[in-house]
Structure 1
Amino acid sequence: MIRVLALLLAIATPAMADTVPEPGTYRGEPYRAPVPATLSGAEVIDADAAIALQRQGRAAFIDVLPRTTRPEGLPEGTIWHEKLHQTIPGSVWLWNTGYQALSAAEEARLRTGLDRLRQDDPGRPLVFFCRPDCWMSWNAARRAIEWGYQPVLWFPGGADAWAEAGGPALVTAEPVDP
């Protein structure tokens, strides 16, 4: 009997450990950590659904991955190039908009970006993504829901899952400024 209980616990424990509850508020650091399987008020989609939506051309894809900034303290005259960011074709890179707390500029970038994406179609679905196990897209999608945007879709696999599923090749992102 004890062996059976131990076996059942061994089988059930990994599944339970992978279950991440939705927090009551935005998630802070570390942002690269297991995410919940749900987001209240949003539809959670996988790579196949994301690829199908992109092919239909009706949904707006929003990449919220942070932007690499020039390191502080580089000697004067040092040449520095921002790292290229690869994203889903046709998406808009609203960088740094998935943090737990947004600066005024980050909040403006997100609100302005979402409004622009929906100015011709107020019911256009908004698909938020970044990378797997990244809370940035969860936070940004939750914020959009709280601001009254609908429908909101969350693609937790992000650009990595897109590429693995054989979606159209990732493209170099251009950061959006309001």
Structure 2
Amino acid sequence: MVLRVLLIFLLCLPGPVLAGSSAEAMAKRPELFDPATGYRIDRQRAPTPEDIPPPARLVDTEEAAALIAAGALVLDVYGASQSRFDELDGTWLVSQQRLSLPGALWLPETGRGWLEPVLQTYLVDNLARATGGDMARPIVVYCIADCWMSWNAAQRIAALGYEAVYWYRLGTDGWLDAGRALFPVDPVPVNVE
């Protein structure tokens, strides 16, 4: 009886809200998207779509875990508090410790709809360093549930020529909901020299 009640309770828990397909989201609110790139440029914290344009691919928690276990680059693009880095030394201004997936590389703000040139370089350089220049190395990109920054970042990384980009739309929320552990991670400083 207790198991039955627990199962009913779990089935009634709300999951992340879906925005339908990405094409539907763009058609419904075109002003939220860059017409040239298709990236979401406003209201990043909102229900995300149930798809991502190819060549990036959507993965669930089990698929993300399998990719990570097989050596994929684990890329967190969650925004840093105050959304800025110190322009003198490149450190990010964060108000609290970020907990992320195991082995994560945290590149804050690289999922914005438009990147300043310094952040574009930050993304490109850190991807090259983390992959050793291997454009075929799998990359799992995520943020938190209901956030478009990872959707943007996954497409941006695929546009750079990386061949195996996976969008984990549930992010740290989905990972934790699946009973998996999160670990402290620090943002990679920006090279300001």
Q: Which of the five TM-score ranges fits, normalised by the shorter chain?
A: 0.7 to 0.9
Q: TM-score, normalised by structure 2?
A: 0.72
- Residue ranges of structure 2 left out of the alignment (5+ in a row): 1-17, 27-34, 85-92
CA RMSD of aligned residues (A): 2.2
Partner of 2:101: 88
What are the equivalent positions in structure 2 for 1:120-139 lying under 5 Å apart? 121-139=134-152
Distance 1:136 1:35 in 2: 10
Q: In structure 1, what is the Cα distance between the partners aligned to 2:122 and 2:108? A: 8
Q: Cα distance, 1:60 vs. partner?
A: 0.4
1:149 aligns with 2:162: yes
Bigger CA radius of gyration: 1
Tell me the CA shift for residue 149 of structure 1: 1.2
Structure with more relative contact order (C-alpha pairs < 8 Å, separation 6 or more): 1
Q: How many residues align?
A: 152
Cα distance between partner residues in 1 of 2:94 and 2:56: 37
Conserved in 1, the CA contact under 8 Å of 2:83 and 2:109?
A: no
Overall identity of the aligned pairs, in %: 34
Tell me which residue corresponds to 1:47: 61
TM-score, normalisation: structure 1: 0.78
- Whether the 8 Å CA contact 1:70–1:82 is kept in 2: the answer is no
| Mean Cα deviation higher: 128-137 or 47-56 | 47-56
Query: Helix, strand or coil for the counterpart of 2:151?
Result: helix
Structure 2 residue aligned with 1:21: 22
- SS of alignment partner, residue 142 of structure 1: helix
Q: Is there any run of 5+ residues in structure 1 with no aligned partner, and where?
A: 1-16, 72-79
